[in-house]
Structure 1
Amino acid sequence: MTIPYHLTKAEKAPLLLEKLNGLTNLHFEKSPQYRSMIEKGGFQITASQLEKVPFIPVQLFKLMDLVSVPKEEVIKVLTSSGTTGQQVSKIYLDKETSIAQTKTLVEVMKPLLGGKRLPMIILDTKSVLKDRKSFSARGAGILGFSNFGRKHFYALNDDMSLDIEGLENYLEEYKGQRILLFGFTFMIWQYVYKESLKKGYKLDFGDSILIHGGGWKKLEDEAVDASTFNQLLHDQLGIREVHNYYGMVEQVGSIFVECSEGHLHTPSYADVIIRDSLTFEPLQNGKQGLIQVLSELPKSYPGHSLLTEDLGMILGEDDCPCGWKGKYFNVAGRIPKAELRGCSDTFQGGVES
């Protein structure tokens, strides 16, 4: 696999386009529902440029089972996080796709974490991994990132309380070593930061690097932005280095990590396009719109080109001060639900039951 952030636009675009066209053709052949949507939408299955690769709304994974392999080849089913009563996405992985996603995640994180497994604290509860065949988005994230660590310690008890004694013992045991911390943004805020503040726990995670992802919505409601979050975690928990990432269960393994400048980056095997939320036309850099995510990984389901429900903006390409090539961008939050529903209805209406 290519080093993830070394390809310029001119080098990356033709390679990625070839892979994505291959996947569009594969899913067109193997998934009757996908084929029906592409035909009814009038898409070309072999695109001449990345912006023309057919996309489907990410919400469709909540409305139908989209799978391109026989059910007996499915080894794992991932579900998106959702509140009680909400429909969840179901993503079907076969062995090949599952292995590809794990390997790629390792490559993408290497520039930040190096090649050596670090002592690892997972800022979550172990009970989220109970069912080894069916995983929630949280479980899938923990399982994927746990490959970077050793001597895993789960910082939360099953009742979501902080295992302060266990944490203190672990930090003492690995004092002076670099420690990897992983968790989901809101859970870290709610159950680690706020809990330690409330109980008066003063922890020092030492030479630690925190990788976190997930929605910012609940933190924005409390007027907490990324720099405030990072500063408060440093003040209260001594966490020295923090990197956010953007990703979703519908393209697990395809994650966009924050560089040293605080920008999310597209690696060589994935890309983002920003589209107008009404016309779906591609927008220029510096304009905010809907994020479309492209990835060469999904082979067991048609998830290689998805229109998300998130708003974002491309800040630049190949010229980030951090030195990484590729597009770099930010995420501004979710679009109001009603605006995307029409798009999903259009696609779903094109599927014969």
Structure 2
Amino acid sequence: MGIRDELKSAVLQLSDYPQKQHTFDELALEIFRFQAVANPVYNQYLGFLKIDPRRINRLEKVPFLPIQFFKHHKIISGNAPEQIVFESSGTTQQNVSRHYVSDLPFYEHISQKIFEQFYGPLTDYHILALLPSYLERNNSSLVYMVQSFIYRTFSRESGFYLHNTAEMLDKLQQLSENNQTHRKVLLIGVTFALLDLVEEGHDLSFMENLKDRIIVMETGGMKGRRKELLREEVHAILTKALPVKQIHSEYGMTELLSQGYSMGEGVFQLPASMKVLLREINDPFKIISTQFHTGLSKEAVVRGGINVVDLANVDSCCFIETQDLGAYQPANQQFSVIGRFDNSDIRGCNLLVV
């Protein structure tokens, strides 16, 4: 087993046996030292910053790679050939991010593991996706992940329905009338598609029968199809039209292989493979120190630019400086996205402006 495989195994074990294996910070520093050497772009970036990786002994001292690097460079650690290149949904080929993935089974494994950590077994669900189908866009990490989830539900009712809403509504009505199944229904979609669904005049009254077993999850993104709305506005529109009290959300992006999930109100919980650190808005190299202060009250909230540590990115780079602005609660490790930096690209998949 090589170093890459050993690190991936440790990432998976982190969530299986958190009390016995590496602590998150220890494993993150181990991966940092590996990537500081094995990732040519990251290695060069550290060189420009005059950083000696051997002197980095705390996670908050690790330099984070600006996310824009994924648009102009091949961010990869080691020499394993890529199996797929995930691309973001930019308006031109020049402004898309690319994530070179050399271990698809690992991505499938950890994304399923994360989902089931928060929602239980995939076999407990029918998944109806208001997303482009895998055949239409097989270079989207989100579409690939949901396709993998659909396959693992072992449900004939699961599938992609973005361009055949009437068929999806028929399927939902059938499920609403079937009281013999224990399965829940996950309706997951890009935000503009969910809004279109509830505003096109369909009779959705039958969905009352599903109110105890349906989850509606938005993945963000208007893709230029609609005016950007506050997250609260979107969730108010959807909860008024659908028999749910909360709209769930997924936080992920092309450049990350892990996901965070929100059970409502845009407050995200993180899996064992992720951590969010906030940086000063005017100093990208300074992590907000109060985040590490043990005397903070449980209600304390820290605000700043979102840096993500995603340990699933062993084959690329685990330390990403995003263009999102966030509010973070150190006491419970929950965060919310509260906006974006000026002049940053509006991400097509997973962000509502707030």
1:225 corresponding residue in structure 2: 231
Aligned mates of 1:162, 1:336 — CA distance in 2: 41
- Structure 2 letter corresponding to 1:236: A
- Alignment of 1:335 onto 2:341: yes
- Structure 1 letter corresponding to 2:194: W
- Alignment of 1:272 onto 2:287: no
Residue 311 of structure 2: which of 296, 321, 332 is its match?
296
Aligned mates of 1:279, 1:267 — CA distance in 2: 27
1:117 corresponding residue in structure 2: 123
SS in 2 for 1:292: strand
Cα deviation, residue 338, structure 1: 6.0
Aligned mates of 1:76, 1:338 — CA distance in 2: 26
Unaligned 5+ segments in structure 2 are 1-11, 292-300, 346-354
SS in 1 for 2:147: helix
**Superimposed CA distance per residue, residues 4-28 of structure 1 (whole angstroms, 9 cap, x where no aligned partner):** 59969xx99x722222222223223
- Structure 2 letter corresponding to 1:153: S
- Alignment of 1:20 onto 2:28: yes
Cα deviation, residue 263, structure 1: 2.6
- Alignment of 1:55 onto 2:64: yes
**Superimposed CA distance per residue, residues 171-219 of structure 1 (whole angstroms, 9 cap, x where no aligned partner):** 4346664423142341343332223xx3444340431123332348989
Aligned mates of 2:142, 2:112 — CA distance in 1: 18
CA contact (8 A) 1:180 1:208 kept: yes
Residue 102 of structure 1: which of 89, 98, 108 is its match?
108
2:297 corresponding residue in structure 1: none
Aligned mates of 2:119, 2:251 — CA distance in 1: 17
| CA shift in 2, pair 1:214/1:43, >3 Å | farther
**Superimposed CA distance per residue, residues 48-87 of structure 1 (whole angstroms, 9 cap, x where no aligned partner):** 111111210111101112222436x311211112224551
CA contact (8 A) 2:266 2:336 kept: no
1:306 corresponding residue in structure 2: 320
TM score, norm. by length of structure 2? 0.76
CA contact (8 A) 1:81 1:138 kept: no
CA contact (8 A) 2:90 2:96 kept: yes
Aligned mates of 2:76, 2:122 — CA distance in 1: 35
| CA shift in 2, pair 1:144/1:42, >3 Å | farther
Aligned mates of 1:216, 1:328 — CA distance in 2: 25
Aligned mates of 1:213, 1:27 — CA distance in 2: 30
| CA shift in 2, pair 1:156/1:338, >3 Å | closer
- Aligned ranges 1:89-168 → 2 under 5 Å: 89-95=97-103, 98-115=104-121, 117-125=123-131, 128-130=133-135, 134-146=138-150, 149-151=153-155, 152-154=157-159, 156-158=161-163, 163-168=168-173
SS in 2 for 1:102: helix
1:258 corresponding residue in structure 2: 262
Residue 64 of structure 1: which of 62, 73, 76 is its match?
73
SS in 2 for 1:317: coil
Aligned mates of 1:82, 1:118 — CA distance in 2: 34
Q: Give the superposed CA RMSD.
A: 3.6
Cα deviation, residue 157, structure 1: 4.9
TM score, norm. by length of structure 1? 0.76
**Superimposed CA distance per residue, residues 220-253 of structure 1 (whole angstroms, 9 cap, x where no aligned partner):** 9565434x5445434423236532222212112x
Unaligned 5+ segments in structure 1 are 319-326, 340-353
Give the number of aligned pairs: 319
